[in-house]
């Protein structure tokens, strides 16, 4: 199942995880470089392991969980981790600022004051700040704090919370004891057990590490839910973007490093078909927030026929398509690949042909070249991995004397044609179906003469005969049938449509827009810490980018907010794009914080989206039903979503607190938003669009109350 990609809490003890690999103590005289390794190092700042600890954590530590996650990042990026230890928590940020390390991975809570000193990644988890004391002697509310004393580090995030609590008008007086920074949190807790300290405050994720049989008791939450994140310096924006990209892919299931070489049976168990392709007008592209492309539509129909969700995987360059397939980064290649003898010699298998094309030499419109003999003395630029390269090498062997230059593999054929039109390149080659697209909108190039006729096929690993058999059956049924013919004409013969799509494609360097409202979305999404692309995906699902949209139940605007909801948060002009987006993002933010902060970061997002569509009551009913069914109530896909579908049946709806719900709607809603969002990430990452933070900053959590707190227009 896909959930194997997800990060789970670990039970490895601190002593195992934190003493693997290279460690350095700031100020030590040991050589900090390992001359035996040529890999780049990622210097990670940590506090030293507490000395004299007489127990092992019962379920790992928060720091070890984070470190394991960072290890996955380092492994994916080919980095070696070097641990840089400081002796006090308060020295972590100064050490980062002075350049002793590159990232802090130490259960660091995000606060406004710390935001002024460092940049934080998207949240790793969320915590409660909890008052603790000895069992039977711990205040259960703020009104019971009179005369008590709370031990805390001044550098801790909850020091600020305690000071605010202390200054409340009706708060009974209590004392804050500032503990020496060199004394660890573990020692403070042990001191509470032994009576050295009266009370303490601990992050909720640290309490689970206490040994069984301890005498510590939780009193109450003293403040807001806070995010925990990694920190990098203000100057290191490239590392921040890369870490955020990794976290988004990891938590939301867009992990491009997921490896599987299984056949069709395994693919169906995973419920996802990973299709390797390239971003081009003939294969796969983004237009007005929706995914398009001849290969994409064929692959999606095949996936739908087998009840699979499609995931498009785009390598950085065309020459990586077959290696990525062999490595298990995709299940098949659907990228208008010509069937050639050279490719058939590899450990791959082509499907039956589904398209026949001619390769053509492409010249400028005023170039008189029109036959093979006129290639003598000319220069042709094509990718070495393309079938054109083999065709042109054959001509050279036959005695035609021209210069053949290998183009960069990341350039698509359309881009090479552009360079011919501009005069940067002399000649290139292209498949006839690509030329069909280009010639519908431009007149500065022309097909000079044909080289060779070829056929296209999809590619699978030779050890996946079940998948190959299913693909062959699909192409046999669909080729030149109604669906195929309509789709082919749409992409290669409809000149008006081709022109319109070319002008507004969102995944080209010249037009990095997903919607007409990208800038407004970025503004409001950034305020709450969402990735703006997630909001754009939801906006398309809600209104197809029509600000005047109105549903049959009365929802209005780009984000289809109900007027009653808008009124509760102080926004009435929902058809105004700015106000409509603001209301929708605000409401999604409010919904997300109705779910437990301890939940997996990505799952809270899916639950919030489901609640946006169906209502939070139905989502809670589905989670309760999932528990009864033995499914995981904390995971949306393949667990709670299955329970949501059951709530459309009378036997389940009658016992649900909120009754019947058309479960197909929220299930499809969340899946379609997720798939579109992951495609946005994939396509725009290849155009070097920086990743924005996408999960809510819990420091701005809204108070729990039946009515939404107001915002102003």
Residues catalogued as catalytic: 542
Show Cβ contacts of residue 453 under 8 Å, excluding neighbours closer than 6 positions: 356, 357, 358, 359
Contact 91, 154 (CB under 8 A): no
Structure tokens that stand for 514 in this block: 């997903």
Q: Among 63, 81, 67, 74, which Cα is nearest to 22's? A: 81
Q: Give the rounded distance of the alpha carbon of 699 from its chain centre.
A: 22
| Burial letters 210-244, b for 16+ CB under 10 A, else e | beeebebebbeebbbbbbbbbbbbeebeebbbbbb
Q: What long-range pairs does 109-114 form, CB within 8 A, spacing at least 24?
A: 109/157, 109/203, 109/226, 109/227, 109/228, 110/226, 110/227, 110/228, 110/229, 110/697, 110/698, 110/699, 111/157, 111/160, 111/226, 111/699, 112/699, 113/160, 114/157, 114/231
CA dist 61 and 241 (Å) reads 26
Task: Tell me the residue ranges of DSSP E strands in 75-128.
Answer: 80-86, 103-109, 119-120, 125-127
CA dist 476 and 517 (Å) reads 43
Structure tokens that stand for 228 in this block: 């925990």
10 Å CB burial of residue 53 (0-12, 13-18, 19+) is: middle
Show Cβ contacts of residue 560 under 8 Å, excluding neighbours closer than 6 positions: 542, 543, 549, 551, 584
Structure tokens that stand for 53 in this block: 């600890």
Task: Tell me the residue ranges of DSSP E strands in 365-444.
Answer: 379-383, 403-407, 428-431
Beta-sheet pairing, 41-47 with 80-86: parallel
Largest CA distance in the chain: 99
CA dist 136 and 36 (Å) reads 56
Backbone angles phi, psi at 274, to 5 degrees: -95, 115
Q: Give the rounded distance of the alpha carbon of 289 from its chain centre.
A: 17
Structure tokens that stand for 501 in this block: 């799509």
Looking at residue 437, the DSSP 8-state letter turns out to be: H
| Sole residue written with tokens 């020496």 | 180
Contact 73, 105 (CB under 8 A): no
CA dist 547 and 539 (Å) reads 10
Q: Among 700, 693, 606, which Cα is nearest to 253's? A: 606
Show Cβ contacts of residue 647 under 8 Å, excluding neighbours closer than 6 positions: 618, 621, 622, 625, 653, 656, 660, 661, 663
């Amino acid at each position: 199942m896909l959930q194997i990609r997800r990060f789970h809490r670990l039970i490895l003890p601190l002593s195992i995880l934190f003493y693997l690999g290279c460690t350095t103590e700031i100020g030590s005289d040991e050589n900090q470089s390992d001359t035996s390794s040529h890999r780049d190092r990622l210097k990670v700042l940590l506090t030293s392991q507490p000395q004299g600890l007489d127990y092992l954590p019962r379920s790992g530590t928060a720091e070890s969980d984070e470190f394991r996650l960072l290890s996955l990042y380092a492994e994916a990026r080919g980095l070696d981790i070097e641990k840089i230890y400081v002796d006090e928590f308060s020295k972590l940020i100064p050490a980062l600022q002075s350049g002793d390390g590159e990232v802090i991975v130490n259960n660091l809570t995000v606060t406004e004051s710390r935001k002024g000193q460092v940049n934080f990644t998207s949240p790793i988890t969320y915590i409660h700040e909890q008052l603790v004391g000895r069992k039977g002697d711990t205040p259960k509310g703020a009104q019971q704090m009179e005369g008590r004393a709370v031990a805390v580090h001044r550098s801790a995030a909850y020091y600020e919370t305690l000071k605010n609590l202390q200054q409340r008008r009706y708060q009974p007086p209590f004392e804050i004891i500032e503990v020496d920074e060199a004394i660890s949190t573990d020692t403070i807790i042990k001191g509470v057990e032994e009576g050295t300290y009266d009370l303490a405050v601990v992050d909720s994720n640290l309490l689970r590490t206490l040994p069984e049989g301890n005498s510590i008791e939780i009193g109450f939450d003293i403040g807001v839910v806070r995010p925990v994140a990694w920190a990098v310096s203000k100057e290191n924006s490239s590392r921040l973007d890369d870490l955020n990209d990794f976290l988004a892919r990891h938590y939301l299931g867009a992990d491009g490093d997921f490896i599987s070489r299984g056949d069709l049976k395994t693919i169906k168990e995973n419920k996802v078909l990973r299709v390797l392709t390239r971003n081009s007008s003939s294969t796969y592209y983004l237009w007005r927030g929706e995914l398009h492309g001849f290969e994409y539509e064929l692959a999606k129909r095949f996936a739908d026929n087998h009840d699979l969700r499609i995931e498009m995987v785009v390598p950085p360059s065309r020459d990586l398509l077959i290696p990525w397939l062999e490595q298990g980064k995709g299940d098949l290649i659907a990228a208008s690949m010509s069937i050639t003898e050279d490719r058939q010699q590899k450990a791959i298998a082509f499907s039956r042909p589904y398209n026949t094309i001619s390769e053509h030499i492409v010249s400028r419109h005023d170039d008189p070249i029109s036959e093979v003999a006129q290639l003598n003395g000319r220069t042709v630029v094509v990718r070495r991995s393309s079938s054109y390269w083999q065709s042109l090498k054959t001509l050279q062997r036959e005695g035609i004397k021209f210069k053949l230059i290998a183009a960069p593999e990341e350039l698509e054929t359309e881009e090479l044609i552009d360079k011919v039109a501009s005069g940067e390149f002399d000649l290139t080659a292209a498949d006839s179906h690509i030329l069909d697209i280009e010639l519908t909108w431009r007149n500065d190039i022309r097909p000079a003469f044909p080289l060779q006729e070829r056929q296209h096929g999809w590619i699978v690993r030779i050890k996946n005969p079940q998948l190959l058999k299913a693909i062959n059956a699909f192409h046999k049924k669909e080729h030149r049938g109604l669906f195929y013919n309509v789709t082919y004409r749409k992409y290669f013969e409809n000149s008006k449509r081709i022109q319109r799509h070319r002008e507004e494609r969102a995944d080209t360097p010249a037009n990095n827009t997903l919607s007409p409202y990208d800038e407004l979305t970025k503004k409001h999404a950034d305020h709450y810490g969402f990735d703006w692309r997630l909001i754009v995906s939801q906006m398309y699902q809600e209104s197809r980018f029509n600000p005047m949209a109105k549903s049959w139940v009365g929802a209005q605007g780009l984000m289809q907010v109900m007027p009653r909801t808008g009124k509760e948060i102080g926004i009435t002009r929902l058809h105004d794009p700015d106000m409509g987006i603001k209301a929708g993002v605000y409401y999604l933010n409010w919904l997300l914080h109705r779910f437990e902060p301890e939940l997996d970061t990505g799952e809270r997002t899916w639950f919030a989206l489901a609640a946006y569509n169906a209502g939070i009551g139905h989502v809670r009913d589905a989670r309760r039903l999932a528990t009864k069914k033995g499914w995981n109530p904390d995971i949306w896909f393949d667990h709670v979503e299955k329970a949501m579908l059951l709530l459309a049946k009378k036997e389940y709806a009658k016992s649900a607190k909120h009754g019947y719900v058309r479960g197909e709607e929220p299930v499809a809603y969340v899946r379609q938003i997720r798939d579109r969002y992951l495609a946005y990430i994939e396509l725009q990452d290849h155009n070097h669009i920086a990743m924005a933070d996408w999960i809510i900053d819990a420091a701005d959590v809204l108070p729990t109350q039946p009515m939404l707190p107001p915002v102003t227009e």
